[in-house]
Amino acid sequence: MGDGAVTSPLPRPESLKAIVFDLDGTLYRDDRLGEEVSQSAIRYVAALRQVGMAEAEAMLQRARAKSGDGGTLSRAVVALGGNLPEMHRRFALDIHPEELLKKDERVPKLLKLLATRFQLYLYTNNNRDLSGRIMAQLGVTGLFRDIFTIEDYWLPKPDPKLITDILTKIDAKPAEALFVGDRYEVDLSVPKSIGCPVFETKTVEELLTLEQLAH
């Protein structure tokens, strides 16, 4: 788990109303899919700046290193002159979860169990098309009350306004909404700063420990 960022112990189940999950790196981990994302972004920057792939990759690495928000790819591409709708149009074409992801039966089983007690939501920096295809591969389609993607605001995580807006939309106070993600600075620091409990998970095995909330 990540550097003391995990809520420990978990919040009391009776204090929670909702659980808001990140998608990529949280409900699954697959480095091959991450590499497809990275290569698509590099090709976009290379075309945008009219440089080779190696230079585009170096530019992205420098932009991410300069970022004070967890070094998200989205913000790095924007800093280099790109725009998020075009980047995600390319992602939808270039990335193939159908060829890479395998269903882990434990994940939909966990979500179905948690849904008997809590409202479940998804909040991702990914686009609707790709998120939908990933969820289909994971077997979790239809298990969330609502899904918030980059296309809802075209503002990437982390962003305080989006967290407060999500809380309003799901009708939950900060203390009633547990945020679950794999990157503390990107997924969890803002929710925690406004009073939400958070849980950082780096593996499916860590994710599965949330089962105790349903008992």
pLDDT digits (tens, 9 = 90+) for 10-31: 889 999 999 999 999 999 999 9
Is-contact 88 127, C-beta < 8 A?
yes
- What letter does residue 157 receive in the DSSP assignment? S
Structure tokens at 105: 């039966």
Q: How many angstroms from the chain centroid is the CA of residue 47?
A: 27
Which residue shows structure tokens 């290379």?
46
Predicted TM-score (pTM) of the model is 0.92
pLDDT digits (tens, 9 = 90+) for 96-118: 999 999 999 999 999 999 999 99
